[in-house]
Amino acid sequence: MWRDAMLVAGKDLRIEARSRVALWQVVPFAVLVLVLVAFAIGPDTGPMRQAAPGVFWIAVLFSTVLTVQRSVAIESGEGTRDGLRLSGIDPGGIFLGKAAAVGLQLLVLQLVLWAGVTIFFNVRVHVVWLAVVTSLLATVGLACAGVLYGALSAGLRVRDTLLPILVLPVLAPVLLAGSKAWQAALNGNASSGTGWLRILIPFAVIYLVIGIVLYGPLQEAA
């Protein structure tokens, strides 16, 4: 399964490296969210700093939807899904590979956004390890839940409008826990942030396990 996952992730990332959709569309979109929210809040540094963690995670969530849509679109070409299914690759491996590719893109995106909030919102992360651990755990959860819901909407003509309404309420706990943990990391108060990791860990584990189990039946349904 792991070898299959590596193959699928490699394939998705190679396509990404050649098409550069994430680089030229998703990353600018995420930065655009930062700028737009900054316009909405106004130029005062006080409210800006308070909003920074939430804005960071909102941008990550919206970009997750775009990245997952892209990940589904890769497989929507003529007979691609059938080809993948008939290739004998383990469905759990396909799930893990696609989630890994999405997760890796999201991590790169978060690095850019980190720089973005530092510059635009004038904040500094005081507890770096907490911010990094939060991002890693949240990314596993976002990628797994995202790819799973992507499979649920795959092959439907209306999938682009359907996916956000399906997946965004599901990702609400990640937004909540991620924002709170980041707030703690910004304030230099690590102890109040670690508690929120206890939501991110089960979220990531649950969607990872469900994804490996249910991706096969979902593929058959598509």
Partner 1 sequence: MNPTGSVSRPRWLTVVGVLGVVAVGFTVWLGLWITPPDAVQGNLARLVYVHPAIATVALYWAGGVAVAASLFYLWPRTRTFFWDRLAVSAVEVGAVFAALTCVTGSIWGRPAWGVWWAWDARLTSTALLLLLELGYLALRRVPTDPAVRARRSAVAALLIAVDVPIVHFSVDWWQTLHQGGTVLDPGFHLHIHGSMAWTFLLGFIAFSLIFVWLLGVRYRVEVLSDQVGDQEMDVSLAERWSEGTELVGAAASSPVPAAPPGGAPTMVDQ
> Which residues of the chain form contacts with partner 1 (CB under 8 A)?
148-149, 152-153, 155-158, 162, 165-166, 169-170, 172-173, 176-177, 180, 195-196, 199, 202-203, 206, 210, 214, 217-218, 220-222
**Least distance in Å: CB of 210 to partner 1?**
7
Matching residue, tokens 């409008």: 161
Written as six digits, the tokens of 86 are: 């008939």
**Least distance in Å: CB of 206 to partner 1?**
6
Calculate the alpha carbon distances from 207 to 22, 54, 127 in Å: 24, 23, 27
Beta carbon nearer to partner 1, 128 or 221: 221
Beta carbon nearer to partner 1, 115 or 156: 156
Beta carbon nearer to partner 1, 84 or 218: 218
Give the E-state strand segments of 23-158 in sequence order.
Answer: none
188 DSSP 8-state letter: T
Residue 84 burial class via C-beta count within 10 angstroms: exposed 0-12, middle 13-18, buried 19 and up? middle
Beta carbon nearer to partner 1, 114 or 203: 203
Beta carbon nearer to partner 1, 121 or 196: 196
Do the beta carbons of residue 142 and residue 61 sit within 8 Å?
yes
**Least distance in Å: CB of 159 to partner 1?**
8
Do the beta carbons of residue 33 and residue 55 sit within 8 Å?
yes
**Least distance in Å: CB of 163 to partner 1?**
10
